[in-house]
Chain A
Amino acid sequence: SQKIEQNSEALNIQEGKTATLTCNYTNYSPAYLQWYRQDPGRGPVFLLLIRENEKEKRKERLKVTFDTTLKQSLFHITASQPADSATYLCHPGKGGYNKLIFGAGTRLAVHP
């Protein structure tokens, strides 16, 4: 069955450093991958989309890579700030809504 793995342990980093979060998937060939941010007590919010024919996507301090051979996406936040502290969810997807699967998320804590 399809499986998405995100590091269940919280990632603690120092302010100013680069945070790198991992999303691995198995038994699945997504056409795209999205990353969402979720703050405590709130719904997830869309951050970035990367398609299968793209290796890398950037948006301000955010960078996403997508390696379809390794079946992995990496999500980077450069010059991290305490305000970046949240849970980040990955969503590898393809056309059709019957398989809208999300990873369980990785909690990021950026310390001053």
Chain B
Amino acid sequence: DAGITQSPRYKITETGRQVTLMCHQTWSHSYMFWYRQDLGHGLRLIYYSAAADITDKGEVPDGYVVSRSKTENFPLTLESATRSQTSVYFCASSQRQDSGNTIYFGEGSWLTVV
């Protein structure tokens, strides 16, 4: 049971470069999410997706792009990385939109922008 996997786990990139963080889930969950976690801010929602080809902005979407051509994949792209995007990124999934659905998180991708 692989669950939800993220890659790369650790990445160092330079300012201005494009970076893509990959997320893959094996449960066929409809909903997928990207969060960033920073000290003092907790988890902040970047983008979410209700199904393939349906995405929407969360709390902090600026500077990020997502796509979801297949149910199981939800890549997050930083088009031109900035130092303020240094963070830990968590991908997550959830089965339904019923109230109180469990959110399953990946192990995180540590991104450093220098």
Contacts and interface: CB of A to CB of B under 8 A. Distances in A.
Q: Identify the interface centre among B90, B97, B99: most chain A CB within 10 Å of its CB.
A: B99
Interface in B28-60: 31, 33, 35, 40-43, 45, 48, 50, 56, 58-59
Contacts of B104: 46
A43 B40 CA distance: 17
Interface stretch (B12-20, B66-74, B78-86, B105-113): B105-113
Contacts of A32: 99-100
Interface string A71-112: 000000000000000000101011111101111110000000
Q: Classify chain B: how many residues form its interface, as a range.
A: 20 to 34
B114 interface: no
B25 to A, nearest CB: 12
A97 B97 CA distance: 8
Tell me what chain A mostly uses at the interface: helix, strand, loop, or mixed.
loop
Interface string A41-73: 111111001010000000000000000000000
B108 A43 contact: yes
A46 B103 contact: yes
Q: Classify chain A: how many residues form its interface, as a range.
A: 20 to 34
Q: State the 9 A-B residue pairs at the shortest beta-carbon distance, nearest first.
A: A43-B105, A104-B42, A102-B43, A32-B100, A46-B102, A49-B100, A44-B105, A100-B45, A31-B99
13 contacts: A32-B100, A41-B107, A41-B108, A42-B107, A42-B108, A43-B92, A44-B105, A46-B102, A46-B104, A97-B31, A97-B97, A102-B35, A102-B43
Given A93-B100, A95-B97, A97-B94, 10 more contacts: A8-B40, A31-B99, A31-B100, A42-B107, A46-B103, A51-B100, A91-B103, A97-B31, A97-B48, A100-B33
